[in-house]
């Protein structure tokens, strides 16, 4: 069928550039090699390239071929991270779509780390990896390393009012409402800089009132509950804690490093959620007077 | 195109009966008339009929026509409830699919009731209605009246261990983990018997440690937190509370009335949920010695 | 409890600005007045304000109060659209959070319009409204008017190859794979300019191979199938069609009007989706030489 | 804290039996050994036991411990399937909850099989495994082996009407609407009988108009499109095809083997789905005159 017209390759006049053309919701198991151990992840994958105004369509099957080639290659050429895998797929996408100036690849996957419950019991805890890469025809590239972790927050405000209501004058922890909190931390780093997803997970988890665990025997439960109530936090506090730890850990990254830090509290006393978020760059975050986000964001 | 073969009506030999054939995920606004006020609901609707072995296909467009006719008729002939609406659609389905011996209709919709926060402030709280009707060619019918309500549970076990750990010898409420709890209560009632969804919502909400509210000023928050910790409950307790109140309220319904009561706690100290459920009939529930559910369910 | 410390209002030193603090996943029925008729919508609502570095927390209950006040006021002061409602809530949010420089409100709701199937039968079709408003302390504001509509695309490329394979030399429509396509179109307009969501829905639906309908009798089905195969389209074509119609209809809006046009095809021959998107401004779109989106987007 | 009261173990008077008490939405990677190769799955796991009337609560942490012990043991004692894993966890649950008469375990996981596209290209296709086990204190047990597979159906009715409308008198395939179809097949088998999930996936996929593939070059696309239109099918046909193949393949299983076969077509010409389902036992299915499902199901 060689003589078939290349429909996608047809030349158009007066048409529009497209920002992103590709495929979404692809699932495929991949093997990542971290710290000597091999981890199987099952990411959901989206890939895109841009499309010039004069080209009718993108060749969609080349997207899957690019993913497949990189995934098959992992046996010989293992990737240390999901974001590195995104980068490799992105580079191959640009090769296969020669009209494209930019490729974008994102992968989301369940991820597990061993944790210790308060009294030492080992638990395998569940997180999410949010990886992304942008690759440009001029050779530049960027990667996003992101994580999502679930922990617990206890409310400092309700603690104060409940204590007052029950006429307790003690300074210590007191009952409050507490709930699941979903924390998200994403860094967009330029080439040559490294950020470790496991460290970001540590930051998110330790930003909350307490991390949570799959297995808690009764004495562990007491520890988690008391810890959470000793560290009551608003969603605002959680985000600021993340930002603070991020500067400590990754303050040496370039000023233009983009940051998203988010905390969503699935409030136990409401049917809706509480939400706080900061989107900025590391440079702005580190400046002595953190400026008005209105200026920054519009 | 009258001369076209009726493909769905083709006669098959040696084929299989189908239990349910129909359409799912239909959305349509409907107006219900309750207690003199008109309520707009936007249910997601599934409708089914059975299909005899010798008939190739069901006429799918008749399903939508049955829904439309009933919904259009609501102006003249208002329905007092979503389950009544299901029943009307089910009856019409049987008329339009003359080969069918059974029609099944289910609707799920967001629903709102005004509630008072502890200090009297009015809140509009969000629930779900889960309605269903089965209509049989021999004239019998059944309806399911079901509700889902979100509230709050505080854990009695962690409260005890935290109190012990902090060496508090007081008898009163103490800090514990607490979280969103999703309660579900469904009754399948035969014809001629009435159950009110609003009453089921009352039962589910009052089965938990505390109901939750959209608007809580600080003194309200203290009340909700203290109430929840004064009534700590396992998911098991929540289900048993529902069953107990159900017998009080609807114990006069026939013994064969089917019941589902469920409580799912989105644990604040774990990433997974705690779950408890009872499925049975009213007769079994009211018998002096509630028998072994293993016998009952298999 | 007036003597309680205002915990959220506590002054912090050396902390971080937060971009967005608020509540999400609030549900509430609202009444919109369009073209003389009253429409009940049940939006899911998110509201946010920014938070200065020196303020510990936002007063979350003020968010619900702002929503409630506007919704209650709709009886006296009806809103013509969901985005207008967002704007009103946003303005009130700024009043109630006097430390904030920016308020953001978004609402997503099911929406229904009457359509005519090919042979004239009336259908109530289901869409989504995606509304958003940004309000600034200096008095400026912006609104986003967005819609999501589901239609059908038939693939032009598979049509060509299938025709070739079956040695059909006819020019007309031929079998191809076809599937549900989810189209999204969002305009961000500055104050004083009006865009009508119903018109955006028209644009999205007519950008596809064919709109789809809830009720189709057999002759209607033939019409829809033939129409779709007479207008085969890639996701790329769908997006470009939207952009083209948008310029026709709203080309007079200011150049800085932001646009998102997206088409996602739930491919029948794959388990993954095909995706195309353009994000830009009206000015760029209208320029004789639509520039490289790489430059525009980074 | 040994002297703490065992709150869950408290004796109640006049309370209710609970049908299922446990935990849901646990995620954990597991390694299955099939045909010599090791497969990593990441199931979402729900586990339950029943609870006698006189026992206040179930010991929830024992559920996770049972899962952990079995998963850790897989290194020494590999499982050949997810349903076998469910069975092992169920047996351990009964040991750890000595008051329980029944344990129930269900796991849902993404699963991948290599397939060949029409012209021979290898694709890794994505399916779902739906496994479940019931274990009884008297030693009996049952397992459910279930699969979900996505394929494609082309509508035979619209094909006929479109052909008629376009005045084509040819007998061959013709354009029609076609779409994603989600097929589900679940068998509940008693002890000592084996069913292979891969075979069930084969049955589901070959019950549709055509399977679908991740990578299709243009000649492959033509083959899939032509194959689908040569085998147009209603959801009813898909279910009956599954049942027919099931009898061929597993007709020797005991008569009491329970069966669920379902086909959901995400209609390209509608915004809603078409649905067909059969739930029955193998014995009924094999009887010369498949009886009325109304009798069977109520």
Q: Which helix (H) or strand (E) holds D142?
A: strand D141-154
Does residue A289 sit at the D interface (CB-CB below 8 Å)? no
Residue B134 lies in a domain: no
Query: Residue D42: its chain A contacts at CB < 8 A?
Result: 42, 110
Compare CB distances from C293 to A22, A50, A297 and report the shortest one's residue: A50
Query: Residue B166: its chain D contacts at CB < 8 A?
Result: none
| Smallest CA–CA distance from C210 into chain D, residue | D269
CA distance A264 to A230: 20
Does residue D175 sit at the C interface (CB-CB below 8 Å)? yes
Q: Which tokens is A89 given? A: 């797929």
For residue range B36-70, what is the model confidence (pLDDT) as tens digits? 889 999 999 999 999 999 899 998 999 999 999 99
Compare CB distances from B17 to D60, D270, D293 and report the shortest one's residue: D293
D247-275: b or e for each residue (b if 16 or more CB lie within 10 Å)?
A: beebeebeeebebbbbbbbbbbbbbbbbb
Same-domain pairing of B83 and B146: no
Same-domain pairing of D249 and D179: yes
Query: Residue C126: its chain B contacts at CB < 8 A?
Result: 27-28
Domain residues for B224?
Answer: 140-298
Chains that touch A (3 or more CB pairs under 8 A): B, C, D
Residue D114 lies in a domain: no
For residue range A99-142, what is the model confidence (pLDDT) as tens digits? 999 999 999 999 999 999 999 999 999 999 999 999 999 999 99
Same-domain pairing of B88 and B12: yes
Cross-chain residue pair D126–A27, CB shorter than 8 Å: yes
Q: Where are the beta strands (DSSP E) in chain C?
A: 18-27, 30-34, 37-41, 44-51, 102-116, 122-136, 141-154, 178-190, 210-211, 258-265, 273-281
- Scan residues 21-50 of B and list those with Cβ closer than 8 Å to D: 21-27, 46, 48, 50
Q: What pLDDT is attached to residue A13?
A: 66
Compare CB distances from C216 to D152, D213, D269 and report the shortest one's residue: D269
Residue C119 lies in a domain: no
The residue from A50, A82, A107 where one domain ends is A107
What number of other Cβ atoms are within 10 A of residue B294's Cβ? Answer: 17
Cross-chain residue pair A150–B216, CB shorter than 8 Å: no
Q: D199 vs chain C: nearest CA distance in angstroms? A: 20
Establish, for the pair of chains C and D, how many residue pairs have beta carbons separated by less than 8 Å: 139
Strands B37-41 and B122-136, sheet pairing: unpaired
Residue B279 lies in a domain: yes
Residue D280 lies in a domain: yes
The residue from D54, D83, D107 where one domain ends is D107
Q: Which of B24, B39, B64, B72 to mutate to test the interface with C (most CBs of C within 10 A)?
A: B64
Residue B6 lies in a domain: yes
Same-domain pairing of A171 and A261: yes
| Smallest CA–CA distance from C127 into chain B, residue | B27
CA distance C242 to C151: 13
Q: Which tokens is C85 given? A: 């409602």
| 3-state class (DSSP) for residue A227 | helix
Q: What pLDDT is attached to residue D298?
A: 38
| 3-state class (DSSP) for residue C186 | strand
Which residues are CB-neighbours of A218 under 8 A, at least 6 positions away? B157, B158, B161, D1, D4
The residue from D82, D107, D132 where one domain ends is D107
* CATH number of the domain to which B175 belongs: 3.10.270.10
Residue C115 lies in a domain: no
For residue range B192-214, what is the model confidence (pLDDT) as tens digits? 899 999 999 999 999 999 999 99
Same-domain pairing of D79 and D160: no
Query: Residue A124: its chain D contacts at CB < 8 A?
Result: 28-29, 68
Compare CB distances from A42 to D42, D65, D218 and report the shortest one's residue: D42
What value of ipTM does the predicted structure carry? Answer: 0.93
Same-domain pairing of C165 and C290: yes
**Total domains present in chain A:** 2
Same-domain pairing of A103 and A197: no
Q: What pLDDT is attached to residue C13?
A: 66
| Residuewise pLDDT in 10s, chain B (298 residues) | 446 677 777 777 668 999 999 999 999 999 999 888 899 999 999 999 999 998 999 989 999 999 999 998 887 888 999 999 999 999 999 999 999 999 999 999 999 999 999 999 999 999 999 999 999 999 999 999 999 999 999 999 999 999 999 999 888 999 999 999 999 999 999 888 999 999 999 999 999 999 999 999 999 999 999 999 999 999 999 999 999 999 999 999 999 999 999 999 999 999 999 999 999 999 999 986 655 444 444 3
Q: Which helix (H) or strand (E) holds B49?
A: strand B44-51
| Smallest CA–CA distance from C102 into chain A, residue | A294
Does residue B51 sit at the D interface (CB-CB below 8 Å)? yes
Same-domain pairing of D151 and D288: yes
Give CA separation, A164 vs A169, A233, B163, in Å: 7, 18, 19
Cross-chain residue pair A219–D112, CB shorter than 8 Å: no
Q: C280 vs chain A: nearest CA distance in angstroms? A: 8
Cβ pair D183, D205 in contact under 8 A? yes
Phi-psi region of D34 (alpha: psi -120 to 50; beta: other; left: phi over 0): beta
CA distance D135 to D138: 9
Nearest to C200 by CA among C127, C123, C289, C108: C127
Same-domain pairing of C170 and C286: yes
Q: Which of D118, D269, D273 to mutate to test the interface with C (most CBs of C within 10 A)?
A: D269
For residue range C161-192, what is the model confidence (pLDDT) as tens digits? 999 999 998 889 999 999 999 999 999 998 88
For residue range A242-276, what is the model confidence (pLDDT) as tens digits? 999 999 999 999 999 999 999 999 999 999 999 99
Compare CB distances from C175 to D173, D212, D219 and report the shortest one's residue: D173
pTM recorded for the entire structure: 0.95
Q: A243 vs chain D: nearest CA distance in angstroms? A: 29
| Residuewise pLDDT in 10s, chain D (298 residues) | 446 677 777 777 668 999 999 999 999 999 999 888 899 999 999 999 999 998 999 989 999 999 999 998 887 888 999 999 999 999 999 999 999 999 999 999 999 999 999 999 999 999 999 999 999 999 999 999 999 999 999 999 999 999 999 999 888 999 999 999 999 999 999 888 999 999 999 999 999 999 999 999 999 999 999 999 999 999 999 999 999 999 999 999 999 999 999 999 999 999 999 999 999 999 999 986 655 444 444 3
| Smallest CA–CA distance from D65 into chain A, residue | A215
CA distance A242 to A278: 10
Same-domain pairing of D149 and D291: yes
Query: Bridge-partner residues for C145, per DSSP?
Result: C131, C187
Residue B33 lies in a domain: yes
Same-domain pairing of D144 and D275: yes
Same-domain pairing of A156 and A71: no
């Amino acid at each position: 069928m060689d003589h078939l017209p290349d429909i996608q390759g047809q030349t158009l006049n007066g048409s529009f550039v497209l920002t992103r053309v590709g495929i979404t919701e692809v699932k495929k198991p991949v093997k990542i090699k971290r710290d000597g151990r091999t981890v199987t992840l099952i990411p959901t994958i989206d890939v895109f390239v841009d499309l010039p105004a004069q080209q009718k369509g993108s060749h969609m099957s080349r997207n899957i071929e690019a993913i497949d080639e990189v995934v098959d290659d992992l046996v010989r050429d293992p990737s240390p991270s999901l974001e590195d895998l995104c980068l490799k797929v992105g580079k191959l996408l640009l090769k296969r779509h020669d009209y494209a100036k930019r490729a974008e690849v994102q992968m989301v996957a369940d991820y597990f780390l061993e944790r210790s419950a308060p009294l030492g019991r080992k638990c395998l805890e569940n997180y999410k990896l949010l990886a992304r890469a942008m690759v440009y025809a001029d050779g530049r590239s960027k990667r996003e390393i992101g994580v999502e972790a679930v922990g617990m927050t206890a409310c400092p405000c309700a603690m104060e009012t409940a204590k007052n209501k029950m006429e307790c004058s003690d300074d210590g922890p007191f009952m409050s409402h507490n709930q699941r909190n979903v924390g998200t931390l994403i860094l967009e780093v330029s080439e040559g800089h490294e950020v470790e997803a496991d460290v970001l997970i540590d930051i998110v988890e330790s930003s909350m009132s307490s991390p949570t665990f799959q297995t808690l025997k009764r004495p562990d439960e007491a520890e988690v509950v008391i810890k959470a109530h000793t560290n009551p936090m608003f969603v605002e506090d959680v985000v600021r804690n993340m930002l603070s730890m991020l500067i400590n850990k990754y303050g040496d990254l370039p000023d233009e490093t983009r940051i998203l830090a988010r905390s969503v509290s699935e409030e136990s006393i409401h049917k809706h959620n509480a939400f706080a978020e900061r989107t900025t760059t590391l440079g702005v975050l580190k400046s002595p007077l953190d400026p008005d986000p209105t200026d920054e964001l519009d």
